[in-house]
Amino acid sequence: MSRQNYGQIAALEFFDPPEMDFPDIVEEFDIASQRLAPQLRRLTWDGEDIALIDRDAVRIALGWLPAENLNQPSYLVLAVGPRNAKRNVTLDPEAYEMLTRRLVERVRGYLPFDAVLHGAANRPIGSALLDMTFELLSGCATEATHSRRPAPTTRQSRARRREETPKSTERPKHPIPEDAVDAQLAVPGASFPMRLTIVTFGLTLFLHVPPLGAALLAYTTLREAQPLLT
């Protein structure tokens, strides 16, 4: 079976802890996916951080990687693919991609996340795929803290910034529009060694999980080029 036929995988990054616990998230997915299975319906837990939802020929794997400390992100990993990769009864690869994107958008509706890495899975959907993804994501948690988002104290709502603007005595050399929130996140704050570490990790991730690695490298490249475009 080709790599693309294994299905799709996405990693959702949360800097703020979600309001729902992982078991509640799994329950939401379990209820939402009942329409996919007129026959087989099964939910299997592998420990406390991985859940496998089987619906006929489709498997949805969910995994939760908690942050090691308050300054690091947490990750919700979801993968969609054939329930039994050894059989030829599979959906079209585009169907897995569409289903994955719809699930990501569903999560966005009630659990807003900060970033998403999305691509094709390189092995059957299951606990082994999620465990490998956990190991790779945990390696970039520290780098993500410095490169993807400033400290929580500097990220304020638009209303808060409007109130504090007249009272502030220190202004940046190039003022940022209030509605351009993402522009403030793009200001480079990491040192050169830190950026080199991020790129090196992206290359390592690309060798093990090409879609996630390519997404991280593309994100890093666009972030470094942002000051040249503004």
Kindly state whether residue 212 falls inside one of the protein's structural domains. no
Tens digit of pLDDT at every position of the chain (230 positions): 444 578 999 999 999 988 899 999 999 998 887 776 566 788 999 999 999 999 888 899 999 999 988 888 999 999 999 987 666 555 677 888 898 999 999 899 889 999 999 889 989 999 999 999 999 998 765 565 555 444 444 444 344 344 444 444 444 444 444 444 343 334 445 555 555 556 566 666 666 666 666 676 666 666 655 444 44
Place of tokens 């959906």: 91
Residue 109 lies in a domain: yes
Overall domain count for the chain: 1
Q: Which helix (H) or strand (E) holds 120?
A: strand 115-120
pLDDT at 114 (0 to 100): 93
Query: What's the CA gap between 50 and 197, in Å, rounded?
Result: 29
Q: Report if residue 223 sits inside a domain.
A: no
Whether 37 is covered by a domain: the verdict is: yes
pLDDT of amino acid 109 = 87
Whether 19 is in a domain gets the answer yes
CATH number (domain holding residue 44): 3.30.310
* Coil vs helix vs strand at 174: coil
Domain extent, residue 96, equals 4-130
In a domain, 137, yes or no: no
> Chain-centre distance of CA 124, in angstroms?
19
Question: 141 lies in a domain?
Answer: no
